[in-house]
A = this chain, B = another copy of it.
């Protein structure tokens, strides 16, 4: 299906108007692979829609989160947006800043079991590992953290 139409339909059926700005922002973030910040998404969207404001970006990102189309990862002061909503591990390198997603189905199962035991209704989750990635370990001392 046309991904454009998919987003338009989703917005409408959640009661939001499908403005060109929203569709462009949604396209950008849902297609992203590098956990962009709001600012990064804004810059990207500006290339096609030069007048879109940062507040519209924030507004749309909040709508998309509410629609469960993405996760927010606040980390080191700013929020990064992750279109991968499956339960996965964010392996965050404190040296180069890269975030690598690691899929791990067994985690989901064990977390669901724990929540169920406590009678907790899950709406979202986040699993982060902080540290130093393999490539960075080689030249860890050459570039100050």
Could you tell me which A residues sit within 8 Å of B by CB distance?
A: 74-75, 77, 89, 91, 93-94, 100, 102, 104, 106-107, 110-111, 114-115, 118-134, 137
> Which chain B residue lies CB-closest to A107?
B110
Output the least CB separation between A119 and chain B (Å).
4
Set of chain B residues within 8 Å of A122, measured between Cβ atoms: 129-131
Give the interface SS of chain A, mostly helix, strand, loop or mixed.
strand
**CB-based nearest B residue for A102:** B114
Whole-angstrom distance between the alpha carbons of A94 and B104 in the complex?
25
Shortest beta-carbon distance, A91 to chain B, in Å? 6
Contact A131–B127 (Cβ < 8 Å): no
Among the listed B93, B114, B121, B130, which residue makes an inter-chain contact with A89, where contact means beta carbons less than 8 Å apart?
B114
A132 near B121: Cβ-Cβ < 8 Å: yes
Q: Are A102 and B129 in contact (CB under 8 A)?
A: no
In angstroms, Cα B137 to Cα A47, docked, is: 45
Contacts of A111 in B (CB 8 A): 89, 127, 129
- CB neighbours (8 Å) of A133 from chain B are 118-120
